[in-house]
Structure 1
Amino acid sequence: MSLTEIFNDSLKYPFSDMTKFCIIGIVMVVSSLGSLEIGNAIISSVLGIVAAVASIITSGYSVSVVKKALVKSDEIPDLDLRENIIDGLKMIVMLIVYYIIPIIITLIVAFATGFFNQYIEVATYASQYGSNFVNMVSEDLMMSLVSSAAITIIIGIILLVIFSLLFYMGICRLAKYNSLSEGADIPEAARDLKRIGIGKVIGWMILLFVIVAILTFIETFISSIPSVGILISAFLISTYNLFIAYRSVGLLYSAIE
């Protein structure tokens, strides 16, 4: 399938069964409860725990969406709490596996460029001289801090993009083989990336980013509605984003024989 076909399908897919869309939307609303300002520590803690469990469920459900896409089924999967919680926990493990590497490399780069030492030195000036610290710090130190920060950030972003692509391949492998070890196999995820075509996968990510950015822009206005805005945006936008992202990546991965 071309990217146009993939996204045409994915954008329409959530509307094929509005009952199931609403069910997942409700779970999404529950997962957003932790962001509400209640003003009571105990209630906030309880809502936070409930929201965390709901987030695990939605993460696991996304794997079910990918499974349907891999076989090009137009059916929206049912909510299966046991299966979704298990897959959600697997997703958490995979997040650690895939993102620990870029985090470590970025930290090494930060140390190698002297970013942390320079930052501490500038922070020391700030604590001593307040807002006037800018006039006290040498130009060489500021230039070194800016350059080391720029190098660290650029490398960090590049690594984040690369491992995000690999992570999505890993999710597809998890859905295809129903195995955490297969999903967390980074070398095989990289081979799958090459089999699909790196250019095509990058194109998919760019298009997905544009769509999500547009939806996020709309979500900003919805979320500004007093009291219920966050809940409405979770029900509509977050749910729609989930279906689009995981339906599209599943269809993309289905090209691998």
Structure 2
Amino acid sequence: MEIMEIIKEAMIFPSTDLAKLAIYIVLAIVAGLLVTFGFILFGVGLANNSLIFILGLILFVVGLIVGFIIMGYQISIIKSGIEHDEKVPEFNWKGNLITGIKYLVVNIVYFIIPAIVILIVAWATNLFGVAYTVVNKMMMASMSAPANATVAVADAVPQTILLTFGTALMITGIVAFIFLILFSFIQTMGKSRLAKTESIGEAVNIPEAFRDIGRIGYGKVIVVVILIFVIIAVINAIINGLNGYLNGIAILSIIVSPYLVFFAARATGLLYSDIA
């Protein structure tokens, strides 16, 4: 499919079955509430040595289960795009739960590698050591300086140390940006491979996932992924902007956010269908 055909078809897709979208919205709200209240009750119970922490733990776990079902359903939407199935997929509670857990594993694998690389670069540039020195010197200066002597506190850190810190931070930031962007594109292929094969092994086959980008076309993948990101960002920005003028319009995000999830998943599946 052509790029604009993918975007257009994906934007229309969620509206073809509003009942499924409504179920997804309810599940997302329920998951959020269960996890939030479960976490609060768990913390209160531990603080007060109360058995209420057990109820909190149960709610939290149930919320996670619902969350996994939601994640698994997103993969089923990607699969519908790969197979060019015009129908919004049915919910398969057990199947979606299992797929959601697999999806979590895939995400961990794809983002643990950039995390490790970033930590190695931060260690090699001594970012953490220099940051500790900067903070330590500023804290020492703030304790000995008058309350309003902010300039003296800032001047407590030698320029050479600040320069070293800035350089280390810049290098680490550049490496982090490059690796996170690169692995975001590869992870898009990874979750598409999961949708197609239902295999974690195939999904985390990073070399093959990277080759999939080339098979589809580097330019096409980059443009489609960027368009998905831009469309979601612009729509959310519009809602946030209108919220300052129209009270209560932010509630639209309860509907719009799931709609955009459907859109992004469908577009990803249609993109991967070129080589499926």
Per the normalisation by structure 2, the TM-score is: 0.84
> 2:12 aligned with 1:12, yes or no?
yes
**What is the identity, as a one-letter code, of the residue corresponding to 1:7?**
I
Cα gap change, 1:2 to 1:154, in 2 (>3 Å): same
Cα gap change, 1:94 to 1:142, in 2 (>3 Å): same
Give ranges in structure 2 of 5+ residues lacking alignment: 45-51, 143-149
Deviation at 1:47, TM superposition (A): 4.8
Taking only aligned residues, the RMSD between alpha carbons, in angstroms, comes to 2.6
Give ranges in structure 1 of 5+ residues lacking alignment: none
Residue of structure 2 in register with 1:101 after alignment: 113
Cα gap change, 1:72 to 1:109, in 2 (>3 Å): same
Residue of structure 1 in register with 2:218 after alignment: 198
Paired positions, count? 254
2: distance between equivalents of 1:114 and 1:3?
44
- 1:233 aligns with one of 253, 260, 264: 253
2: distance between equivalents of 1:92 and 1:101?
15
Residue of structure 2 in register with 1:159 after alignment: 179
Residue of structure 2 in register with 1:55 after alignment: 67
What do the CA deviations read for 1:222-256 (whole angstroms, capped 9, x no partner)? 989xxx9887633x122112111110010000011
Q: Is the 8 A contact 2:38 2:60 kept in 1?
A: no
Deviation at 1:29, TM superposition (A): 1.3
- 1:208 aligns with one of 219, 224, 228: 228
> 2:103 aligned with 1:91, yes or no?
yes
2: distance between equivalents of 1:113 and 1:39?
39
**What is the identity, as a one-letter code, of the residue corresponding to 1:194?**
G
Residue of structure 1 in register with 2:207 after alignment: 187
- 2:88 aligns with one of 73, 76, 83: 76
Q: Who wins on radius of gyration, i.e. which is larger?
A: 2
Q: Is the 8 A contact 2:37 2:60 kept in 1?
A: no
1: distance between equivalents of 2:59 and 2:236?
24
Deviation at 1:45, TM superposition (A): 5.5
What do the CA deviations read for 1:54-113 (whole angstroms, capped 9, x no partner)? 221111101100111011111000111101110000011111111111101111111111
Using CA pairs under 8 Å that are at least 6 residues apart, name the structure with larger relative contact order, 1 or 2.
1
**What is the identity, as a one-letter code, of the residue corresponding to 1:252?**
L
Q: Is the 8 A contact 1:29 1:231 kept in 2?
A: no
Residue of structure 1 in register with 2:167 after alignment: 147
Deviation at 1:161, TM superposition (A): 0.9
**What is the identity, as a one-letter code, of the residue corresponding to 1:161?**
I
Stretch moving more, 156-165 or 52-61? 52-61
Q: Is the 8 A contact 2:39 2:60 kept in 1?
A: no
Q: Is the 8 A contact 1:106 1:152 kept in 2?
A: yes
Cα gap change, 1:221 to 1:141, in 2 (>3 Å): same
Residue of structure 2 in register with 1:124 after alignment: 136
- Residue 136 of structure 1 aligns to a residue in which SS? coil
